[in-house]
Amino acid sequence: MNQPGNNRVALITGAGRGIGRAIATELARRSFSLCLAARSHDQLEETRRLCGLEPSRSLIVLIDLAQADAPQALFGAIDGHFGRIDVLINNAGWAPPRTPLKRLPYDDIARVIAVNLHAPIALARLAASRMETGGAIVNLASAAAHSAGHGEAVYAAAKAGLVTFTHAAFKELRSLGIKTSAIIPGLVDTDLIPPNKRLDRTAMLQPADVAQAVMNVIDAPAHLCPVEISLEPQRDPMRG
Ligand SMILES: NC(=O)c1ccc[n+]([C@@H]2O[C@H](COP(=O)([O-])OP(=O)(O)OC[C@H]3O[C@@H](n4cnc5c(N)ncnc54)[C@H](OP(=O)(O)O)[C@@H]3O)[C@@H](O)[C@H]2O)c1
């Protein structure tokens, strides 16, 4: 995984904006071919344009990862277009507005678990079974996994589950030459964080900071691959 991409293929979920788009542009700069997946076609097309990839080296898949059959469908498309996978970036994530647990709709609980935990695990399983000569699986967790704020208990639980899954998969997959890592960022200035006068957005991490951490995993020799990377803003974005 030290060499530039050339014929290597990466799948990035949630590639239409924010952190996923920043990761996509970095991987394109390293000559990876890309599968870009999310629900919003125009955003994915804009990511493809920013990556400067021609259609044969890029595949857009419109998919809702909350659906149980989405991971298999996504890999069906990748198998058909590229016939290989070298890097999986489990980036897509979703959280409802912060809501006290006793008022959180059951549908939101199911969607948070499906998008942030079930889909990444299912995609890792599908990717690992295809990575016969090694590869990398990078999971976007969150600092909420370790210190959740009020009204984000289920999101925090899903991300904590993803961190634990990463640690277990790291041990299981390293003998196959597959690197598995979790990136654990604090607040990043993206659409996921709604406008809030109590937050200083200039103090937040930028999507490019997170993309750089992902590249550190991609570039690391297998025996030096970190199982998790925590990223915190230099200043606390919380005002007062
Ligand atoms: N921003 C932060 O402060 C922060 C901090 C720590 C961790 N993270 C994590 O970093 C990752 C990226 O977040 P971000 O800040 O870049 O968020 P974002 O700007 O809201 O982007 C999220 C991406 O995920 C896609 N997505 C959401 N639900 C989906 C679904 N059901 N099926 C398929 N795709 C879906 C979105 O596209 P569509 O809506 O078009 O589907 C979008 O492309 C997430 O896992 C998030 O939990 C973010």
pLDDT at position 1 over 90: no
- Determine the distance separating the centroid of ligand 1 and the alpha carbon of 225, expressed in angstroms: 24
Quick check: CB of 5 below 6 Å from ligand 1?
no
The residue-averaged pLDDT of 140-167 equals: 97
Considering only CA atoms, which residue is closest to atom 8 of ligand 1? 142
23-76 confidence digits (pLDDT tens): 999 999 999 999 999 999 999 999 999 999 988 999 999 999 999 999 999 999
Mean pLDDT for 113-132 is: 98
- Closest atom of ligand 1 relative to the 92 alpha carbon: 24
| Closest of 63, 43, 65 to residue 122, by C-alpha | 65
Which pLDDT tens digit goes with each residue over 182-238? 999 999 999 999 999 999 999 999 999 999 999 999 999 999 999 999 999 999 999
Q: What are the counts of helices (DSSP H) followed by strands (DSSP E) for the chain? A: 7, 7
The CA 162 to ligand 1 mean position distance, Å, reads 15
Classify 36 as helix, strand or coil: strand
CB 182 within 8 A of CB 193: no
Which residues have a catalytic role annotated? 155
| Dihedral, 80, 179, 117, 5 alpha carbons, nearest 10 | -40
Per-domain residue ranges of the chain: 9-231
Q: What pLDDT does residue 112 have? A: 98
Taking only the tens place, the pLDDT of each residue in 81-93 is 999 999 999 999 9
Name which residue sits closest to atom 7 of ligand 1, judged by CA: 142
Instruction: Note the pTM of the prediction, 2 decimals.
Output: 0.97
Q: Give pLDDT, residue 5.
A: 52
pLDDT at residue 118 above 60? Answer: yes
Ligand 1 mutation target, pool 12, 140, 183, most atoms within 8 A of CB: 140
Q: In ligand 1, which atom is closest to the CA atom of 20?
A: 16
Looking at residue 224, its pLDDT comes to: 94
* pLDDT higher than 80, residue 103: yes
Q: 72: exposed, middle or buried (C-beta count within 10 Å: 0-12, 13-18, 19+)?
A: exposed
**Ligand 1 midpoint to CA 206 (Å):** 14
How would residue 3 be classed by pLDDT, with cut points 50, 70 and 90?
Answer: very low
Average pLDDT of 122-150?
97
The pLDDT assigned to 121 comes to 99
CATH architecture type of domain 9-231 = 3-Layer(aba) Sandwich (3.40)
Q: Any residues with CB less than 8 A from the CB of 85 and at least 6 apart, and which?
A: 9, 10, 11, 75, 78, 127, 130, 131, 135
Task: Find the 175 Cα to ligand 1 centroid distance in Å.
Answer: 31
126 C-beta closer than 6 A to ligand 1: no
The answer to whether residue 128 scores a pLDDT higher than 90 is yes
Ligand 1 contacts CB of residue 187 (under 6 A): yes
Residue 4: pLDDT over 60? no
Mutate-to-test residue for ligand 1 from 11, 12, 13, 17, highest number of ligand atoms within 8 A of CB: 17
**Residue 190 Cβ contacting ligand 1 at under 6 Å:** yes
**Buried b / exposed e across 76-89, counting CB within 10 Å, b at 16+?**
ebbeebbeebbbbb
